[in-house]
Structure 1
Amino acid sequence: MQAAAYIFIQRKWKDDKSHFEDMIDYFCNIHEPLQLLIFPEGTDLTENSTARSNEFAEKNGLQKYEYVLHPRTTGFTFVVDRLREGKNLDAVHDITVAYPHNIPQTERHLLLGDFPKEIHFHVHRYPVASLPASKEDLQLWCHKRWEEKEARLRSFYQGEKNFAFTGQTVIPPCKSELRVLVVKWLSILYWTLFSPAMCLLIYFCSLARWYFIIIIVILVLQERLFGGLELIELACYRFLHKQPHLNAKKNE
């Protein structure tokens, strides 16, 4: 994740803002096509998180939700504005996810083999030109999308457990069911063989053992000394392009 320049945050805006600025400006400066996945609600849907969301709704005069949590719009609006200023924003994709059968909540469910039988996605693309210009209007726009999500999910779970769709469904050739099935089984076979093969290699080959030890030491040290590979990458870019240094901080 560090090598892919993920944006690590502390979930405290006063601590995260400068790091967001640094990383987003870096992506804009290098003109790197960016896919940034954000969960404005900040956590998963549980009884505790729903109670906190309802408290937030009461304090701010908002309706209470059953199927979603109220979004915290500060980070969302900042990211959209920053990417828009850097001319590195093409569109915002609003994605709603639903599980018609079972909803695994913890790692325990996965260990017990309780995987989702189906996952349904509703995707709506909003081109950048359709987004509000001001921060306040963008916050209202985000809250409006969550109102729609609540209604969409209520209709999903209380109805036929399917998202309403008008139009023609087109499956790209690269996503044919046969190809997906082949890739799935090849992936299972690969990772089933890869993990024990690496363990055997480390056990029988001293060169492989030293290689893994050295790599682990390097990764741990750079994390402790510099904060992560993505910050090293950012510092190198600033040095080579004479960019001013900002106090970017990252915390896992």
Structure 2
Amino acid sequence: MLSVITHLNSLKFMAPAVVMMGSAPPYFVLFSGWRIVSCVLPERWHRAVDDCIWGTYQRLVEFFFESYTGTEVVLYGDVNTLDQPESVIYMCNHQTTMDWVVANMIAIRGGMLGHMRFILKDGLKYMPLYGWVFGQHGGVYVKRAKKFDEKNAARFHKKLDVLRKKDIPTWMVIFPEGTRYNPYNLELIKASQAFAFKNGLAVTNHVLSPKIKAVNMCVQGLRGHTSAVYDVTIAYSNTGEECSWMETVERRPAPGMPEFLQSRCPRIHVHIRRIPLETVPEDEESCHRWLHELFEEKDNMLSDFYSDDPEKRGHLEGKGHSTHLSLASTLPALAFTCAVMAPLVGTSYGRQLYWKIWLFGSLAGITWMKLFT
């Protein structure tokens, strides 16, 4: 019986994963096909449809990670800022691949899901199909500090210039820590704390010391285009919230996508602070201290979240507002995806075409990213 239950639970992850990953080829064709067709059309038409395709796929993702799992999203802080769509820089603490999905959850509530762009690790540009699409949709690939050369910086600036000069609505998502925080990775945490101590910065326990290079370039490159920084702090309920009142809290690693789809994290706590961009320092050194202070405040919030004190444990700063996404927001994207997939998987010719898209599309995308990014 236990093995049957375990098998059924694994299917809760496998079925959504098959649909989301399996639908990559038709969405790749939509993206690349529209890019070719729109070459002779006005730029605003290209952007409008491109954002629509992106938003549709992300709504499919949202269907599985929120509607399907029944996850409760609890919002704190400047929640009302989501009532008015605006171009912003979205920065948050980084614990898991789920942080990408949480950015979707916030963006869809702010009416900006189709306008999301990401600052990404350079190696991700070689992901089959996805790497090319992320880059074409305005994503910026950056190398780690020791390999971040003038060539990489020039491409970074060029991407931001396009967004700013063409006034393209944007949520630019960046994870300043540069890598994921894992409470069991003591070596990484100690290295981060040593860096902070060496540079006269506050030592943190629940977040890593943020890196400034890409953040500062992003802030300065998008001045006059984005109106604010959304400083976001995320805490997952299964990392320490769910303890009895008498237990000592031990922070556990945040759930990955498979664990999340198996409903192992019933709640996500998200604190949002809106910071007008004009208040962010311009020079790199001052910007670094400003950024580190934000992460000190995140650390304090998370220290309370994982506190042994039951009065502080399990919630972030301020009053939480529980929210659920309506099925009407995500179900049409699932229906559209199934309709597009049906002829590809339902016929012999379609299946042959499907695998050719995976193979040749991936090779073409990887080659493009190798040569031009």
Please give the TM-score of this superposition, normalised by the length of structure 2.
Answer: 0.50
| Contact in 1 for aligned 2:212/2:284 (Cα 8 Å) | no
Q: Percent identity?
A: 25
Question: C-alpha distance in 1, partners of 2:313/2:366?
Answer: 51
Computing the radius of gyration from Cα coordinates, the structure with the larger value is 1
Aligned positions of 1:1-252 closer than 5 A: 1-11=134-144, 12-14=147-149, 16-46=152-182, 47=185, 48-84=187-223, 87-102=224-239, 103-106=253-256, 109-110=259-260, 113=262, 115-158=264-307, 159-165=312-318, 177=324, 180-183=325-328, 186=331, 190=335, 194=338, 198=341, 201-202=343-344, 204-213=346-355, 215-216=357-358, 218-227=360-369, 250=373
Partner SS for 2:278 = helix
Q: 1:82 to 1:182 in 2, by over 3 A?
A: closer
Question: C-alpha distance in 1, partners of 2:269/2:260?
Answer: 19
Question: C-alpha distance in 2, partners of 1:7/1:181?
Answer: 31
Q: CA deviation at 1:132?
A: 2.1
Q: CA deviation at 1:217?
A: 5.1
| Contact in 2 for aligned 1:120/1:162 (Cα 8 Å) | yes
One-letter code of the match for 1:223? G
Q: CA deviation at 1:189?
A: 7.0
Question: C-alpha distance in 2, partners of 1:227/1:43?
Answer: 22
Q: CA deviation at 1:148?
A: 0.9
**Alpha-carbon displacement from aligned partner over 1:18-70 (angstroms, at most 9, x marks no partner):** 22112111212221111111111011112232122122123323332111110
| Contact in 1 for aligned 2:255/2:265 (Cα 8 Å) | no
| Contact in 2 for aligned 1:43/1:49 (Cα 8 Å) | no
Partner SS for 1:220 = helix
One-letter code of the match for 1:7? V
Q: 1:218 to 1:22 in 2, by over 3 A?
A: farther
Q: Tell me the number of residue pairs that the alignment of Structure 1 and Structure 2 aligns.
A: 217
Q: CA deviation at 1:213?
A: 4.7
Question: C-alpha distance in 2, partners of 1:220/1:36?
Answer: 25
Q: CA deviation at 1:104?
A: 3.7
Q: 1:203 to 1:121 in 2, by over 3 A?
A: closer
Partner SS for 2:141 = coil
One-letter code of the match for 1:2? G
**Alpha-carbon displacement from aligned partner over 1:163-199 (angstroms, at most 9, x marks no partner):** 2326x96x8xxx7x4xx253488479759x939x94x
One-letter code of the match for 1:89? T
One-letter code of the match for 1:73? I
Q: 1:44 to 1:162 in 2, by over 3 A?
A: same
Question: Where does structure 2 lack aligned partners over 5 or more consecutive residues?
Answer: 1-133, 240-252
Q: CA deviation at 1:129?
A: 2.2
Say what the alpha-carbon RMSD is for the aligned residues: 3.3
Question: C-alpha distance in 2, partners of 1:189/1:203?
Answer: 16
| Contact in 1 for aligned 2:305/2:316 (Cα 8 Å) | yes
Question: Where does structure 1 lack aligned partners over 5 or more consecutive residues?
Answer: 232-248
**Alpha-carbon displacement from aligned partner over 1:131-150 (angstroms, at most 9, x marks no partner):** 22333222211111111111
| Contact in 2 for aligned 1:104/1:115 (Cα 8 Å) | no
Partner SS for 1:51 = helix
Question: C-alpha distance in 2, partners of 1:20/1:212?
Answer: 34
Moved more, 4-13 or 61-70: 4-13
Moved more, 180-189 or 87-96: 180-189
Partner SS for 2:197 = helix
Question: C-alpha distance in 2, partners of 1:91/1:188?
Answer: 30
Q: CA deviation at 1:224?
A: 4.1
Question: Which one has a larger percent strand, Structure 1 or Structure 2?
Answer: 2
